[in-house]
Amino acid sequence: MKKLLLLVFIILLSCQSDKKEKTNLKIQSVPQQILPPQPYFVDIKVNDVKLGKPAYGDWLFSHKEKGQSFEQFVRTKHVVPTKEENIIYLQPIGKFNLMQIKQIELVRQYLQIFFQLETKVLGSVSNDIIPNHARRMGDVGQEQFLAGCILTDVLKEENPSKRIALMAITEKDLYPKPEWNYVFGLASYRDKIAVSSMYRMQKEADFNLGLERLLKICSHEIGHMFGLYHCIEASCVMNGTNSMIETDSHSIRLCSLCQRKLNSGFNYDNVKRLKELKEYFKENNLDEGLMLMEKDFKSIKE
């Protein structure tokens, strides 16, 4: 495995973005003048919840991150959709039960709304694709897959039509290297590929909590692929996190600053996106997300 090309993302342990981009990637051009934020972002800023002082064990307690201003974002090379690259793909790996299949489809629907980009689920592939040397038994008898192998041997050569991001989802537990007990996922932001595991997301969780965790993980990691750094401004889905408890406490919503960054290269209709997110959370009985979207909707001046 080429370690420099792979960055361990641990939505719950250590999630970082690969700030180096291949020279052939489509990148956002640097604007000559940075305009003031659109009224939409000014209106919803009132609903941003400022982060409190980090406590021992929190991500920001042990990671002294400087954050990323809007100006820094637009002046940093990052991937944006083009006519040639504008589809997000999910690649299921393994044997999924009916609940997991439903959650994967709901993740697809969510990402399509969240990023306002077409999102597709590729046909599931068997766990047999993972070679024996990349398998082991975990500390409680669960089978684990070597996450890097999925990136280098399964995903890296996959290039479905108009792919801008590709994320594998497995129901098996993952580990990044022999001395680690487990990892929630691994990503190569340079290659715009990642793998995440459902295994620990669903432990001691009902359907909705497991789904909410998956929505946070997938939107967070793909957000990194589009140039968003960890957010230190407000409770935001782009916050770094050290634990499942911390992940659950973070908002599923992008703060106003991160929304402005994402929209700068995508140029989607903010109100349309907000309405679709509101409807999604309502239809799937995700009360916290629905409440947050309703607050934003009441704040905007159409």
What is the model's pLDDT at position 21?
38
Distance (Å, whole) CA 48 – CA 38 = 16
Q: Is pLDDT at 39 greater than 90 in this prediction? A: yes
pTM for this entry: 0.86
Q: Pairing relation of β-strands 7-8 and 185-188?
A: antiparallel
Q: What domains can be seen in the chain, in order of their start residue?
A: 3-299 (3.40.390.10)
Distance (Å, whole) CA 150 – CA 99 = 23
Q: Is pLDDT at 294 greater than 70 in this prediction? A: yes
For the chain, the average pLDDT equals 86
The closest alpha carbon to 58, from 10, 17, 12, belongs to 12
What is the model's pLDDT at position 34?
74
What is the model's pLDDT at position 27?
53
pLDDT grade for 32, boundaries at 50, 70 and 90:
very low
What residue type is assigned to position 278 of the chain?
K
Mean pLDDT is highest, among 16-20, 232-236, 278-282, for 278-282
Q: Give whole-number Cα distances, 247 to 13, 176, 199, 251, in Å.
A: 10, 20, 16, 8
pLDDT grade for 244, boundaries at 50, 70 and 90:
confident
Distance (Å, whole) CA 1 – CA 207 = 35
What is the model's pLDDT at position 56?
85
Q: Is pLDDT at 2 greater than 80 in this prediction? A: no
The closest alpha carbon to 214, from 89, 97, 95, 106, belongs to 106
Among 221, 233, 246, 276, the active-site one is: 221
Tens of pLDDT along 170-183? 999 999 888 888 88
Tens of pLDDT along 156-210? 778 899 999 999 999 999 998 888 888 877 888 788 898 999 998 888 789 999 9
What is the model's pLDDT at position 28?
54
What is the model's pLDDT at position 33?
62
For residue 213, give both structure tokens: 């965790």
Tens of pLDDT along 116-157? 999 999 999 999 999 999 999 988 999 999 999 999 888 877
Is 221 considered catalytic here?
Answer: yes
Q: Is pLDDT at 67 greater than 70 in this prediction? A: yes
